[in-house]
Amino acid sequence: LEIFNLNMKTGDTLKIKGKISEDADGFSINLGCRSSDLALHLNPRFNESVIVCNSRCSSAWQEEHRDNNLGFSKGSTIKITIEMLADKFQVKLPNDHEVEFPNRHCYDKISYMSIKGGFRVTSFKL
């Protein structure tokens, strides 16, 4: 899934529901201006039992933030809520766990979203 005209602004909340495939190693939700400039790369990795967050600037990855609270599993249906604030992204995960990631690029508008890997989106709402 790739969207180029998302129009997410500071204060907006994005809700994504979907099903994780049984054989997924992981998946990623990416928000930014384009695939080479990402404000938020949210990447649950089942093989490492970790959630990796990162940002990307001119195709270069920046410093990873790793969270060891992977509270969902392969084959499950989940809802992820991402709130965009001026200084950070607040991500609410299925097990009431929250991950915060700084808005390193100080974006006030996000136009690009992609969802890749073993995750099938059933609905999303901005």
DSSP per-residue string spanning 47-88: TTTEEEEEEEETTEE---EEE------TT-EEEEEEEE-SSE
User: What percent of the chain stands above pLDDT 90?
Assistant: 96
Quick one: how far is CA 105 from the chain centroid?
16
What confidence tier does 93 reach under pLDDT thresholds 50, 70, 90? very high
User: The domain containing residue 106 runs over which residues?
Assistant: 2-125
CATH assignment of the domain containing 35: 2.60.120.200
Q: What is the mean pLDDT of residues 92-119?
A: 95
Q: With a cut of 90, say whether residue 71 has pLDDT above it.
A: no
Tokens of 54: 């990162």
What pLDDT does 51 receive? 96
Neighbouring C-alpha atoms within 13 Å toward the C-beta of 1: 19
Would you say 88 and 18 are in contact if contact means Cβ atoms under 8 Å apart? no
Q: For 12-70, what is each residue's pLDDT tens digit?
A: 999 999 999 999 999 999 999 999 999 999 999 999 999 999 999 999 999 999 999 99
Domains held by the chain: number: 1
pTM (two decimals): 0.96
What pLDDT does 95 receive? 83
Tokens of 105: 């690029």
